[in-house]
Every structure is written in structure tokens, then in C-alpha cells.
Structure 1
């Protein structure tokens, strides 16, 4: 027995030593003292890459000017021995995406473990300093919960997945809460707002400040051709499509009653118009304006963030057939807030302008917010932080 114990001791010691050695080898040679990126007090950001054999190195960031081709701008890194370095100019208070280009090959920053998916691409991200960016960080405040739930959609004859945020204390409380239905853009899914949109961080922080009422936030998958985000359904690891066959067909809007029914049957959600809000970005903005008019006495708060309009003029759906009259019914039922946000450089700027003329033509009251920039998550996160404090007053 003693011999077996001694043998087991040495065996475990050997395995531990191998494990520790293996773990040590995860660090790339020469990078142990490097940190990238480093956000400085003035919001300049320094990037460092250990690439002694590389001939060229660039930082490709979404804060850089866009080229005429639409490809993200890039800035050359300077070689310093075995390292490549680049320091940005002072950046805004925000969350930023970037990647590294080495000898023409785009890769992720090997020193930055923080990554996020945007449609079919994976980017590194970092958050700068300042009041706006602070809302996107996890702060020492009470936290809500994010859950992935499957629900039955009788309209679509399928099981579908959505993400739900419940506010701090929901599990302990017995009271009911108002609900915001928050919709993503084309190419997105039920994981877009929680990751790129920083929904949980924003809600936690604004609720803690007392500027936003505790609420449930529901983030469904707006592509009814898919039941869930890539890799999260029985379709497996399929190729991610930006423009799925369901875009602009009206099927998402027709089936939205199934989302509401699931939420109000499974959560302590208030079941009245004054306690429901709906908002969305781009394609989700189109879903928002058509859904809210198709269900004209359902939502008291509507938010359009860089909203699209008709995305398939040939589609036949009751959602579109009588849209103008539905919009008038929505106006007549009354709303507490119809909020529109658009960037000055957004490619949908003219679309938004035409839609506002339509609203003006029927004397539909709305609040218009025009910001700098274009069709970006920087604007959509900003709009969310401005829209939320106006809800459920």
C-alpha cells in the first residue's frame, strides 16, 4: 500500500509538472512583458505585436477613416527590434473593434483575449475611458441576468431562441416589470445586442444610477430562416449569411405576437400598452416600425435606430398591405414616445428623411435625434443609452 501511495505521489507530481510546463508554453516567446492594447489617460491607445519575421504590420480599426472601397482604414506599425508598435491619436469614449495585418494577412491580436463576433467576422475589442465608455464596462453595481431561452412560434411552426435580460433582483422580487423588445440589424441574431450592444452592462449601470427604470429586455432572432444564432441550432455550423431569404418578407412582424405571448406567459411582465416598448437598429428598425403599426395598440414606446424601410418591394404580407392605414391607427391609439435616431453620414439617411416626411404628412408626432457618424454600433449603443431613460415614465 505504501509503495502504491509513493508511486501515485510521483505520478501526480510528474503530471503536474508537465501541465505547468505546457501552460507556460502557451505564452509566445518574447511576449511575456508585452501588453496590448494599452489605453492611456488621454485615450490614446498603444498596440504591440511580437512578429520578428514580419516585413509589414498594420492596425486595422473601425475608428479609422473608411477608404473609397469601403474597406476599413489601417495605420502602419513601426518596427522596434522584434516588436511592432503603433499608438493611436486620442479616441472618443467608446468601445472599438480592430485586427492586425501582418504581411497582408489579417489576424487577431495575440495579446488580446477579448474578442467579439460581428456577423461572420471575429474582432478584438477594447474600451476607452470616459462617461460614455463607462456605461459599457462592468461596474461594481447590482447585476441583472442574461438568459438564452427557446420559445414556440406557432405562426412559424418552429422552436426559436431569444436572449432575455432580467434586472437586478428579479429572482428575489415578486413584482412585475415593463418590457423592452430590442431588435438587431441584418446579419445579426439574438447575440448581437448582448455582445456588440453591451445591453447588460448599459442596463445595470443606468439602473444603478437611477436614471432608468428596472425592466425586462427581450432580444429575439430577427431572421426567421434561422431558429438561433450560428452554431446554436440543429442546423449546426452553417455558413453565416448576411442577407437571409426571409429579409423583408414580413414574416418576423407577423410572428411577433408569439414572442410577446412567450414573455408574458413565462416572465413577470406587465401586460399593458404603457408597459411595452419596442426598438431596433437598421433591419430591426424596419421590423420595429412595421410591427408597431401592424399591432397599433400594443406599444406605447417606439425607437428607430438608423431604421431601414421596405427591404423587399415584391413581398406580399398583411404587414405591408395596409401600412399607411395601420400607421394612422397607431397614431390615433396614441403613443408616449416615437423616437428616431440617425447618423449624418448613414447610408440610410435619405430613407429616414423620406420616412419622417410620411410621418409629418399624417401629423404623427416624433422625437428626432441626429448624431455624427454613420451606420455603426457606436451610434446604436449611444441611442440606446439616450432612449432607455425616456421609457415607462
Structure 2
């Protein structure tokens, strides 16, 4: 009996050990992607039974993609070739320094690279990432410098009648300092949440690097969830695991803007901050730019710095919230109260380009001052990381 017990215990340990090593055995013994010395990148995939393999990503020339919302520029694709061992490969042209995303298409099925564990989620799409270093892309890397902290906090929102999750970056030395800091409220776009800027936007890396280089003042960055029906990002709140959607109800109906002070009150009650107009900034991309535009004029004496990154501008025709009443009048009030910087940035091929041109025309007619940046490209994270990197050094001078 004793020998049987010892045997069973041994088998249990063996099975446990095998289970623990499955993650090691599950990977492919190849390198992909491999960043070569000339900044070309080689992708590889072991798939001996596949008939075709393509790589698609934002490092390739764009292609026109038809969607229900219209025709847009999307990532191109390139064919991999198979060797006699069943390994497919493709080497790109020399790439400029940047953070890139990609995925594979195997016999028509899109999937991630099993050799690359580094992933990002954009709405419901999962892609791999890699960085070609140098130049601006070094801002997106973790370098050997002092680092800030990133925490997920829950705050009470009486206006929304729920506790909600927010991501907050505090600069290097915050925990051991008694200093008070200015605050940037950084808002995501449609389909995003409180994880978007910290993951896709590389906010912590950008802030750490700019502060270490002396190009930005140490500040707190608050990244809320702009989807008012959610308490947190999909998989992080009480609704559990569900597929993220591009647009959820009530995201642009004025509810978020009307209750934004709940976030500010939480931050100013729980963090060492300078709680005044001169030390508050609000900025956002796309839908977050829409929110930044309307929040800053709805509370016209609250922010000295406003950033609109590829912003949606005007509310839908069926929007009835008082937040959207008297847009011209509240903009005029914001202008009269004064501010340090109103910063607008847009890509030349962005589908919101005309909306931003119309806003600038409206502001010109009012005599409302702003700074304007126009870049190549469209409605993409590559631009928004650039905009954040350019905007932050202008704050709290």
C-alpha cells in the first residue's frame, strides 16, 4: 500500500511538472520578428501544412479597405516564402524608427505570431508589436532612467452612480517627495478605455523619457474610461469578459462631460496636485478630442492647456444634452477667461481633417488663438504617440 501511495504521489508530481512546462514547449524555436542591423525586419513562422502565409502590419504600404463607415487606408500585406523545413519567412525593407504592429494571415485566417509574446489590444483586435529603435522611437522604449509608477484606482462617481476604474501615472520620485504636481487628463478614443493610452500610446515610457531628458515637467497623467456605461475596461469590471465594441451607448451624448468633475475631485482629494487652472491640462484623441473640446468649454475656467489630437468636433444632430448648448458662447467665455495653450493636431489623410479645418475657421472668426500641427498619415496610433510626445513638453511652463 505504501509503495502504491509513493507511486501515485510521484505521478502527480510528474503531471504537475509537465503541465508547468507546457508554456515552454508551446512556443516555436525560431526568432520572429528579428530586427536586423540595417533596420530591416525578418518575420518567421513554422507552418509546414499551410498553403499561404502573409504578414500584415503598419510597417507596410497602406491599402484601401472598405468598411461600413466608408473606405479607409489600412495596413498592407506581404507574402512569406516557405523553405524545405516548413518555415515561412519575409524580410521587410529598411524601416524608420517607430513602434510597429503586425499579425499573420495563414490560409486566410488572421492570427498573432506564436514566437512573439508582445501584444496590444485595440478595441477587439489583438496584434503583435516591435520597436525599431532610434530617433523618436527611443521615447517609446524602456531606457535605463528613473521610472514613474502606473496604478489602477477606483473612484466614486456620484453622477454615474458607480465606482469606476482609472489609470494614473505618477512621475519618478512621487512616492518619496512632498512636492505637488500639475495634472494632464488624457482621454482615449472610441473603442478604447482606461488601458488604451498606457498600452497603445506608450504613455509611461514617453513620460519617463521626456522627464529624464528635461523636456517635460514632472506631472501626473490621469487616463479615465470615457465609456460611461462601463465601470472598467472589458475584462476588468463587474461585467467580466466580453468582446469590446467600437462604440458603446452614451459615449458622446454629454454624460461623460457633465460628470467629468467627479474624476477631478477624486484626483485632487487623493494625490498631491496643484489644484488650479494653471496646473490642469486636458487632451485626447478622436472621441477623446471631442470630449476634451467640450469639457474644456463646458468648464471654461478649469484648464489652461487643451490638446485636440485628430479630434471629432461637433455633437450628433440628435444629441440633446445641455453640455452642447451655446457652443459659440462657451468658447467665447473660455477665450475671455484666458488659457496658455490650445493645441490642435491632425493627419493630412485623417477622415476628421475637414472637421478640424472647420473648427479652426470658427476659432479664427472669433479671434480665438490656437497652435496647429499637421502631419502625414491618418487616424492612427503612430500619429497620436507623436502628438503626445510633442504636446507634453509645452505644458506647465
Fold match (TM-score > 0.5)? yes
What does the per-residue CA deviation read over 1:295-349, in whole Å, with 9 as the maximum and x for residues that have no partner?
A: 1111001111001012422111221111111000111111111111111111111
- Give me the whole-angstrom Cα distance separating, in 2, the residues matched to 1:341 and 1:191: 22
Contact 2:315-2:324 within 8 A present in 1 as well: no
What does the per-residue CA deviation read over 1:246-283, in whole Å, with 9 as the maximum and x for residues that have no partner?
A: 13201111111111000000111111111000100000
Normalised to the residue count of structure 2, the TM-score between the two structures is 0.93
> Does the C-alpha gap of structure 1 residues 44 and 9 become closer, same or farther in structure 2, counting only changes over 3 Å?
farther
More deviation in 195-204 or 13-22?
Answer: 13-22
> Which residue in the other structure is 1:188 paired with?
192
Of 125, 137, 148 in structure 2, the residue corresponding to residue 144 of structure 1 is 148
Answer yes or no: is 1:31 the counterpart of 2:31: no
Normalised to the residue count of structure 1, the TM-score between the two structures is 0.94
> Which residue in the other structure is 1:206 paired with?
210
- Give me the whole-angstrom Cα distance separating, in 2, the residues matched to 1:157 and 1:223: 14
Q: Deviation of residue 24 (structure 1)?
A: 5.2
Contact 2:28-2:114 within 8 A present in 1 as well: no
Of 61, 74, 78 in structure 2, the residue corresponding to residue 75 of structure 1 is 78
Answer yes or no: is 1:197 the counterpart of 2:201: yes
Answer yes or no: is 1:388 the counterpart of 2:392: yes
Answer yes or no: is 1:109 the counterpart of 2:113: yes
Cα root mean square deviation, aligned: 2.1
Answer yes or no: is 1:59 the counterpart of 2:55: yes
What does the per-residue CA deviation read over 1:141-182, in whole Å, with 9 as the maximum and x for residues that have no partner?
A: 111111111111112222111100011111111111000000
Of 321, 337, 340 in structure 1, the residue corresponding to residue 341 of structure 2 is 337
- Give me the whole-angstrom Cα distance separating, in 2, the residues matched to 1:9 and 1:170: 54
Q: Deviation of residue 90 (structure 1)?
A: 1.6
> Which residue in the other structure is 2:101 paired with?
97
> Does the C-alpha gap of structure 1 residues 64 and 127 become closer, same or farther in structure 2, counting only changes over 3 Å?
same
Q: Which runs of 5+ in 2 are unaligned?
A: 67-73
- Give me the whole-angstrom Cα distance separating, in 1, the residues matched to 2:381 and 2:249: 24
Q: Which runs of 5+ in 1 are unaligned?
A: none
Answer yes or no: is 1:124 the counterpart of 2:128: yes
Counterparts of 1:138-287 in structure 2, within 5 Å, are: 138-287=142-291
Q: Deviation of residue 28 (structure 1)?
A: 5.7
Contact 1:247-1:311 within 8 A present in 2 as well: no
Q: How many residues align?
A: 389
